[in-house]
Structure 1
């Protein structure tokens, strides 16, 4: 039986909430990292195993949504999380007042427009239903792709946080439905086109992750949408966290695990190899 997302979230959060607010973790060499469902999880788990060789215990906790990992990190129930890009983090900080800091790049995932019903945007019919992310940052990424595909026209000058209200023209009268990012890969049987990430497509197993009708080219944005390792300000220089990140980025076994998980080098890039390691909010 498939549990609803909110019950999964409660089950994940239950052991964390047992910690009193602000309670310190057991030891400086015991880290808790929060992640989302992703093919990268195997590489994170491997890095955690390798960290034991350096005397660091890393507990990996997987969340089913995009909000709880930042809440848990802000509350002190995590030491670090790894699931979000810079615009998403900036929006979370602005909306919630979190004291969260990105300290290193991770993998950069492309975003694409996927379909199991058509092979060309010319096949989209009047009144078809399409899907986008429901958060303001990732929805903007999707809408810019729909604009590039010629299915809609966004108003001139709209930035990365474009929303449905910024659609200036919708000549095919498309019906947009909004869903949390991780769920978009699972709706391909029900819509004509859906925004999604190759990593989520891989995790869901719904179609070939390389089969998107259109992919983003985010390297033009200076790795703006690369995932970040994020901590609270007090942990910016935490040596155990820095060691774990170094293992993830530089150990050849971890890099091989990333390559194996994606299976296609065109679906991701290692942002730290060409981008500046640290970025301020």
Structure 2
């Protein structure tokens, strides 16, 4: 029913301008960062700025939300940037990864979108609703439905909510679970869709700002994190790159280009 999303080819962006050598990680080997399409453009700007400062960086883009942690755990990359802490904790519990958050990035809005209906009241009985199929992002989708007044959830379940936690569903919504990166394609088929503005902007199929409801930027648990193996915590290349990402004006401009106003920094300026 849902169209298959066309993933971008895995891209490797390498800059070999100058050397950066100091401390236990004294090497001219590039810092390898894994990410996904939604976060690539600002990271590319940070890689370019790092190159100007003599720091080599390779940016490796993955087309799914599993490979970046597998690659990091196996040592193929040094850090990844695509997930918030609830997603990381779930991945660690499921696969036994020894991974930790290193530094905060940005927090994105997530919204509920409809191609056909202009309000929640207009949704018919039995309307189809597409939400993410992974345990953490589906919980975020259910929280959005509860905020919209379409369902009620058991008190206190938070981002761990599942369909079993739904107490009332007066419109008898049919909840369809879809891989998160494919939700943008579900917009054409479902009556209501949980949407990620970053992926919507990449797809260029509808207005990322047209959500009937956003979940707000006050859920700090959803700040995207730079994630590492614990033994990498003192890598000076990593510290330098994160500082560039958080404070470079060119990176900030790239963030505005990629996310518009639907994000905010998760770090103290």
SS of residue matched to 1:151: coil
**Is 1:272 paired with 2:242?**
no
Q: Do 1:109 and 1:226's aligned partners in 2 also have CA atoms closer than 8 Å?
A: yes
**Is 1:32 paired with 2:27?**
no
Q: Distance in 1 between matches of 2:112 and 2:174?
A: 15
**C-alpha spacing 1:116/1:241, structure 2 compared with 1 (3 Å):** same
Q: Distance in 2 between matches of 1:247 and 1:259?
A: 16
**C-alpha spacing 1:185/1:68, structure 2 compared with 1 (3 Å):** same
Report what 1:230 is aligned to. Answer: 227
Q: Do 1:112 and 1:214's aligned partners in 2 also have CA atoms closer than 8 Å?
A: yes
Q: Distance in 1 between matches of 2:195 and 2:147?
A: 15
Q: Do 1:188 and 1:206's aligned partners in 2 also have CA atoms closer than 8 Å?
A: no
Q: Distance in 1 between matches of 2:28 and 2:105?
A: 23
**C-alpha spacing 1:189/1:256, structure 2 compared with 1 (3 Å):** same
**Is 1:212 paired with 2:211?**
yes
Which has the larger displacement, 148-157 or 57-66?
148-157
Q: CA offset at residue 29 of structure 1?
A: 4.0
Report what 1:119 is aligned to. Answer: 118
Q: CA offset at residue 97 of structure 1?
A: 1.4
Query: In the TM superposition, what whole-angstrom CA distance separates every residue of 1:151-180 from its partner, at most 9, and x where no partner exists?
Result: 112123323110111112222111111111
Q: Distance in 1 between matches of 2:235 and 2:228?
A: 9
Tell me how many residue pairs correspond in the alignment.
254
CA RMSD of aligned residues (A): 2.3
SS of residue matched to 2:121: helix
Q: Which runs of 5+ in 1 are unaligned?
A: 14-24, 275-281
Q: Which runs of 5+ in 2 are unaligned?
A: 12-24
Q: Distance in 2 between matches of 1:27 and 1:271?
A: 30
Query: In the TM superposition, what whole-angstrom CA distance separates every residue of 1:221-276 from its partner, at most 9, and x where no partner exists?
Result: 3x21010001101111100011111111111111111112223x2x10011136xx
